[in-house]
Amino acid sequence: MSGHDEATASRTALRVCPLCEATCGLTLTIEGTKVTGARGDRDDVFSHGFICPKGASFAEVDSDPDRLTGPLVRKNGTLQEATWSEAFDLVAARMRPLIEEYGPHSVGVVLGNPNVHTMAGALYPPVLLSLLRTRSLFTASTVDQMPKHVSSGLLFGDPLAIPVPDLDRTDHLLLLGANPLDSNGSLCTAPDFPGKLKALRRRGGTLVVVDPRRTRTAKLADRHVPIRPGTDALLLAALARVLFEEKLTDPGVLAEQVEGLAEVREAVRDFTPEAVAAACDVPADEIRLLARGLAAAPTAAVYGRVGSSTVEFGTLTNWLVDVLNIITGNLDRPGGALFPLSATAPSPRSAGPGKGFALGRWKSRVGGHPEAKGELPLAALAEEIDTPGEGRVRALIAIAANPVLSAPDGLRLDRALSEHLDFMVSVDPYLNETSLHADVVLPPPPPSQSAHFDFAFNAFAVRNQARYSPPAVPLEDGRMDESEIHARLILAVSGMHGADPSAVDDLVIERALTKAVAEPHSPLHGGDPEHLAAALTGRGGPERRLDLMLRLGPYDLVLEDLLANPHGVDLGPLKPRLPQVLKTRSGKAELLPGPIAADLPRLRRALDERPAAGLVLVGRRHLRSNNSWLHNIPSLNGGSNRCTLQVHPDDAARLGLTDGGGARISAEGGELEVPVEVTDAVRAGVVSLPHGWGHDRAGARMAVAAATPGVNVNQLLDGSRLDPLSGTAVLNGFPVNVTPIS
Ligand SMILES: Nc1nc2c(c(=O)[nH]1)N[C@H]1C(S)=C(S)[C@@H](COP(=O)(O)OP(=O)(O)OC[C@H]3O[C@@H](n4cnc5c(=O)[nH]c(N)nc54)[C@H](O)[C@@H]3O)O[C@H]1N2
Ligand SMILES: Nc1nc2c(c(=O)[nH]1)N[C@H]1C(S)=C(S)[C@@H](COP(=O)(O)OP(=O)(O)OC[C@H]3O[C@@H](n4cnc5c(=O)[nH]c(N)nc54)[C@H](O)[C@@H]3O)O[C@H]1N2
Ligand code: SF4
Ligand SMILES: [Mo]
């Protein structure tokens, strides 16, 4: 075919969707080098053709004219186009002296959500952090799932050992604070989550949804429990209390794998249904029925997400979720909650005691917040920058992160970034509320030009499988692959500026092989690292590293296998994995870990506190949104995807609010003016405002989003409300004051 024909010919390419955790396989239509359409890949081994409106808009997301096409560098105060060399030269020139003078902790690193959706985000930040050795690490986890990591760390000895509900086989799903019909699921990677819930009901199973809003998921349920926000830990403790009292616990074979059962029984004694009913606003009788239903089901899974995590008792709630899975015998059994085993997980070591999980090994400088999983609370980023003193964060590396909108008190962070930083670099495709403060912006290419593998989500998938998508179209002139951006950034900040970026991958490969050949359980045990490195296939560092991880993994797979099977390799349903997953010091699941026991008095006090009479706020997601960055896509913005304050009719009448009218909403962090939407989809006493809006800052370059900016809900917070064990911001269930605007 001649070059001219190639430029206009239409073809298709497969690509796993990076826009949410469901990881659907897409078939892209490509004209020349431009993606013009996307549909579900029916032959995908995992998603079987499922797709949602976001995946269907892949072409529009990919070719958004507001995406940056090359690096920007601040010159005389304004961001201007520059070459890649100028950009990295400046990073090296500014960062190295800062690190040498003030030490590694003076460099803050902020990692945002899309890092779990890119190969670069999985492969390079760990290298950056190990070379920088900074303790100033802040990620989206502390506005999201850190309570789950802490709970798993304490229970199982491994913060990444997260059981997922066996959606395809369970008889009973108790789902709290999650709305997979709009989010498509989280920490439970399941393309067509909605279809799986419908199939559960069709096969006679039961779905119970606990949510203060009557969500699209709640509408599917056998039972919807409109709980008062922030009280799920009380409800779950009461469920455990009933199971113990009515002798409905049945850990079965788990009994040998667990210690502390009797202690948990004692710990939940005070949380009777009658004691928690008023706080949760769930009748005691209903709580007993929920407990009995859970116990009676042949198999069952309890699953909680964002609404059970970004709350006052986030870690306790996440701990109780797995306590219930354990005492009903549902952990680690088909139909219950199982630990996935991904193709790139290190090949399992033999079972036995591990190192355990330590919390609070250091504390944040200003607020004294304990670290969790090596991270400090994202809510504390602004104070770490703007509070003078030794150890202050003076430079920031933000990768795929928009904390000005996603973390509490965006205005303070906005000021901190513009007035108190000596230097900032953003790796981001957009000039948005956060990246506009950077001195250097390094834009990755659009997804069609990037390879894709789900290192993160395969570890939380309801079925073991592996799919690799090479770039669908070649890298445009002037673009740099995101992996190369990360590698060059690592070299620039770690004193190796100018070295070949493949040096970073070679270093990782050499380290991994040296370690593996010495480990008796490794499939590469006893090999020669140099020969093994030379045998890796793949075009470039990321592919070679993927090949290596597959070879070190549990399935006897290599990169060639994934290339030969473009619709994916199915690795079967989840299987029991205990006791091998346990890495606690005892080698058992430790059911009542010390830090949890120490936090329980705080929960007990909540029994006596009378629920406040005023309103509390919760968030919500829309199927056509994704946190802060998809509002710039015309077909995904507008319609019912709007930044409105949902208010129950009774509250609206009491407060004089009208549908379509305005309201002023305030809390400790500030106040906002919002349009009101009166709807009984929220329960009385609760208002709902979505996050990721507030696109009205000068200097951003997102024209579509700016036309309907909405308001930043996180401006209502001042950053002081945190779940103490995990440092996770309380984004749901905090008190607000709402008045009409006439
Ligand atoms: N009130 C409230 N606040 C919340 C939440 C809530 O429910 N309520 N949810 C929280 C949750 S769960 C999360 S995960 C956080 C998310 O918080 P963040 O991670 O800070 O925000 P995102 O909007 O996901 O996007 C981060 C950035 O990634 C960029 N980006 C997109 N694609 C790529 C890419 O391929 N490469 C790179 N390098 N960058 C890319 C986008 O342009 C954007 O600037 O928000 C949290 N904030
Ligand atoms: N369309 C779309 N999909 C997304 C995203 C998106 O922004 N848009 N974001 C992605 C990300 S980063 C994540 S982390 C996932 C999150 O996925 P999910 O966890 O499913 O998140 P949400 O849809 O926010 O659902 C949280 C639910 O918790 C409820 N809730 C609030 N407070 C409480 C409470 O105290 N108790 C209980 N029981 N419920 C409560 C809310 O009403 C809401 O319905 O979604 C991902 N997928
Ligand atoms: S459900 Fe998620 S992964 Fe699937 S098409 Fe939609 S956005 Fe993409
Ligand atoms: Mo998230």
Question: pLDDT per residue over 274-331, tens digit each?
Answer: 999 999 999 999 999 999 999 999 999 999 999 999 999 999 999 999 999 999 999 9
Mutate to test the pocket of ligand 3, among 23, 24, 27, 62 (most ligand atoms within 8 A of CB): 24
In the block, tokens 């913060």 appear at 159
Alpha-carbon distance values, 2 to 7, 10, 29, 30, 682 (Å): 9, 14, 20, 17, 60
Q: How far apart are CA 326 and CA 331, in angstroms?
A: 5
Give CA–CA dist 478/697, Å, rounded.
Answer: 28
Output the CA torsion sign for 702, 705, 710, 712. negative
705 CB near ligand 1 (under 6 Å) = no
Q: Which CATH architecture has domain 612-741?
A: Beta Barrel (2.40)
Whole-angstrom distance, CA of residue 148 vs CA of residue 141: 10
Please state the pTM of the whole predicted model. 0.98
Tokens of 402: 């928009």
Average pLDDT over residues 704-733: 98
Structure tokens that stand for 438 in this block: 């950077």
- Beta bridge partner(s), residue 183: none
Strand partners, 647: 678, 687
C-alpha separations of 487 from 49, 495, 712 in Å:
35, 13, 33
Q: What is the mean pLDDT of the chain?
A: 97
Q: Which two tokens stand for residue 503?
A: 């040096």
pLDDT score of 609: 84
Yes or no: domain 147-346+578-604 corresponds to CATH 3.40.228.10: yes
Tokens of 548: 């290596």
CB 151 within 8 A of CB 109: no
| Cα-to-centroid distance, 580 and ligand 2 (Å) | 31
Ligand 1: does its nearest atom lie under 6 Å from the Cβ of 215? no
Q: Is the pLDDT of residue 1 over 70?
A: no
Ligand with smallest separation from the Cα of 321: 2
CA distances from 741 to 611, 672, 711, 738 (A): 27, 11, 16, 10
Q: Please state, as a whole number, how many other Cβ atoms lie within 10 Å of the Cβ of residue 561.
A: 16
Q: Provide the residues around ligand 4 (an ion) whose CB is within 5 A.
A: 144
Distance 20 CA to ligand 4 centre (A): 9
CA of 306 to the centre of ligand 2 (A): 5
| pLDDT, position 3 | 40
Residue 440: closest CA among 47, 15, 91:
91
Residue minimizing CA distance to atom 42 of ligand 2: 213
Say how many C-beta atoms besides its own lie within 10 A of residue 622's C-beta.
19
20 within ligand 2 shell (Cβ under 6 A)? yes
What is residue 742's predicted lDDT score, i.e. its pLDDT? 80
- Cβ neighbours for 458, distance < 8 A, ≥ 6 positions apart: 23, 189, 340, 342, 343, 344, 464, 465, 466
Give dist(CA 95, CA 103) in Å, integer. Answer: 11
**CATH code 2.40.40.20 region(s) in the chain:** 612-741
- Strand pairing of 589-590 and 645-647? unpaired
What mean pLDDT do residues 90-111 have? 97
Cβ(19) to ligand 3 under 6 A?
yes
Query: Is residue 579 reached through a cis peptide bond, with omega within 30 degrees of 0 on the bond before it?
Result: yes
pLDDT value at 145 more than 90: yes
55 CB less than 6 Å from ligand 3? yes
- Selection from 422, 365, 417, 415 nearest residue 394 by Cα: 422
Residue 178, classed as helix, strand or coil, is coil
CATH classification for the domain delimited by 72-144+357-442, as one of 3.90.550.10, 3.40.50.740, 3.50.50.60, 3.40.50.720: 3.40.50.740
Q: DSSP characters for 621-667?
A: --TT--TTTSTTSGGGSBTTB---EEE-HHHHHHHT--TT-EEEEEE
Quick one: how far is CA 711 from the chain centroid?
A: 22
- CA–CA distance, 113 with 60 (Å, rounded to integer): 20
Enter the DSSP assignment of 331: B
- Ligand 2: atom nearest CA of 230 is 35
The three-class DSSP label of residue 189 is strand
CB of residue 79 inside a 6 A radius of ligand 1: no
Among residues 285, 306, 259, 361, the alpha carbon closest in space to that of 592 is found at 259
Specify whether domain 1-63 bears CATH 1.10.3720.10: no
pLDDT of residue 7: 53
Q: Is residue 636 a contact partner of residue 624, using CB atoms and an 8 Å limit?
A: yes
The Å distance, Cα 113 to ligand 4 centre, comes to 6
What is the gyration radius of the CA atoms in the chain, in angstroms? Answer: 25
Phi-psi region for residue 555, left (φ > 0), alpha (ψ -120 to 50) or beta? alpha
Rounded to 10 degrees, what is the CA torsion of 20, 21, 24, 30? 40
Residue 259 has phi, psi (to 5 degrees) of -125, 150
Say which range, 3-12, 282-291, 471-480, 639-648, has the weakest mean pLDDT: 3-12
Instruction: Locate CATH 3.40.228.10 in the chain.
Output: 147-346+578-604
DSSP structure string for 413-464: HHHHHHHS-SEEEEE-SS--TTGGG-SEEEPPPPGGGS-EE-TTGGGGBSEE
pLDDT, tens digit (0-9, with 9 covering 90-100), for 367-379: 999 999 999 999 9
Q: How far apart are CA 424 and CA 437, in angstroms?
A: 7
CA count, 13 A, side-chain hemisphere, 308:
30
Q: At what angle do helices 502-518 and 125-132 cross, to 10 degrees?
A: 90
Token reading at 369? 């917040």
- Cα separation, 476 vs 655, whole angstroms: 55
- Parts of the chain belonging to CATH 3.30.200.210: 1-63
Considering every ligand atom, which ligand is closest to the CA of 139? Answer: 1
- Output the CA 636–ligand 3 centroid distance in Å: 13
Q: Tell me if 54 CB under 6 Å of ligand 3.
A: yes
CB of 141 within 6 A of ligand 1: the answer is no
Extract the tokens encoding 602. 């705080």
Tell me the two tokens of residue 440: 């250097």
Supply angle C-alpha 79, 85, 89, rounded to 5.
Answer: 80
Q: Does the beta carbon of 257 sit less than 6 angstroms from any atom of ligand 3?
A: no
pLDDT digits (tens, 9 = 90+) for 553-579: 999 999 999 999 999 999 999 999 999
- For ligand 2, say whether the CB of 214 is within 6 Å of any of its atoms: no
Any ligand 2 atom below 6 A from CB of 625: yes
Answer yes or no: are the C-beta atoms of 601 and 609 closer than 8 Å. Answer: no
Q: How many Å apart are CA 230 and CA 171, to the nearest integer?
A: 27
